[in-house]
A and B are shown apart, each in its own frame.
Chain A
């Protein structure tokens, strides 16, 4: 297993339910489906440079979206 992945255990019954759900879909594994669900739950936050952050903040203030 690669160093950037961690094994997680789930109840077999749950695993079988997920496997049944994704049968015939484009998901190739239960892991892939579960990883996607969790990615959606913990989305990546956008990163901004200091300069961009200042520009956006100024624009939003000017337009009245923030004070």
Chain B
């Protein structure tokens, strides 16, 4: 369900907002608020109230029992929060521009340690999610939002809303659609997974995550341009499409895998591809924890497609997996993102069995293809 102001009411909403107490939010929270408004975070209507927040932490569900695993929170300082009361309507602004209103339902305190343990399963400050949590402010505000001035996004050409993607799938005649989440430039292993999934569904929905990511991840520009190159040369328009998802990456492993699946369900996908260590970072999560967690959500409403181990086999030729390749590890080459990254950083080209040459061309055109 969308929470966007009707076009003929936008001017009035903007005028109303100018007379309200204004709460400043950062770019990441603006994206979360817009994603709520677009329906990507359905069934959420805004930042979580306390009961929902605590239930999400404890059970990975809302108080309604609907699956939800990543808390969407509006955090403020004591001073900021004292500027309005429960029951008030406030304007939300980012970069000095008001874009939404929030009907305040609750203000409450929270415990960072419990939050990190439940969401990230670690208290290690080296985990990007833990580091971010430590910087969050002490008061959480819950309520319902309505967005009257959504941003065009970083790549407006690729930023579609769920009502648009569902329409697109219908126009293409796709009854089943596999969503693929990525925060990387594509290598042959990704392509193998995507096309294997495509054998079982009508359409493939490549959905790169555009937004704040950790140091060492590919830049958004590289992710998008490499996928454009891959699409041009290696995919069929009739069976694959690409839309960007503007959202912060949390690196919460299993919990985030469920969150990613819910978002793709809201786009209209019937299936969601989950690989090894989905949404993971370092070694905080077991390699298949992000697949095992789906057993706790038989009511998720989207079917996961799991991929375990796949590699290039020198003897079979091309990508294989451990269910179909009879050869030993001496013939296997892993699709190692870390290894490809170091090759690229040296200005060299990964082997064509690892990455398509057109994709490599794009990466090497960028002076800094990775986040600093």
**Which residues of A come within 8 Å of B, CB atoms?**
25-27, 33, 36-37, 39-40, 43, 45-46, 48, 52-53, 56-57, 59-60, 63-66
Contact = CB atoms under 8 A, between A and B. Distances in A.
B299 A56 contact: no
B133 interface: no
Pairs A-B, 4 closest by C-beta atoms: A46-B166, A56-B167, A26-B65, A36-B299
Contacts of B172: 66
23 contacts: A25-B298, A26-B65, A27-B299, A37-B298, A40-B301, A43-B301, A46-B166, A46-B268, A48-B163, A48-B167, A53-B167, A56-B163, A57-B171, A60-B160, A60-B167, A60-B168, A60-B171, A63-B157, A63-B158, A64-B157, A65-B168, A65-B241, A66-B172
A36 B65 CA distance: 13
A29 to B, nearest CB: 13
B361 interface: no
A36 B167 CA distance: 24
Interface residues of B, number: 21
Interface of B: 61, 65, 157-158, 160, 163-164, 166-168, 170-172, 241, 268, 270, 298-299, 301-303
A59 B170 CA distance: 15
A1 B166 CA distance: 35
Nearest to A36: B299
Contacts of B302: 40
Q: Is the interface of A mostly helix, strand, loop or mixed?
A: helix
A53 B268 CA distance: 16
A43 B177 CA distance: 13
Given A27-B299, A36-B299, A46-B163, 4 more contacts: A37-B298, A43-B270, A56-B167, A65-B168
A46 B158 CA distance: 21
Contacts of A60: 160, 164, 167-168, 171
B362 to A, nearest CB: 19
A45 B163 CA distance: 10
Contacts of A46: 163, 166-167, 268
A60 B168 CA distance: 8
A56 B163 CA distance: 8
A8 B168 CA distance: 35
B171 A45 contact: no
A32 to B, nearest CB: 9
A64 B164 CA distance: 13
Nearest to B166: A46
A36 B302 CA distance: 12
Contact of B171 (A52, A63, A64, A66): A66
Nearest to B301: A40
A40 B272 CA distance: 14
A45 B61 contact: no
B71 to A, nearest CB: 19
A26 to B, nearest CB: 5
B157 A45 contact: no
A53 B168 CA distance: 11
B168 A66 contact: yes
Contacts of B170: 45
A59 B243 CA distance: 14
A46 B166 CA distance: 7
A18 to B, nearest CB: 11
Contacts of B168: 60, 65-66
A40 B301 CA distance: 5
B186 to A, nearest CB: 20
Nearest to B172: A66
Contacts of B158: 63
Contacts of A26: 61, 65
Nearest to B242: A65
A57 B157 CA distance: 14
Contacts of A65: 160, 168, 241
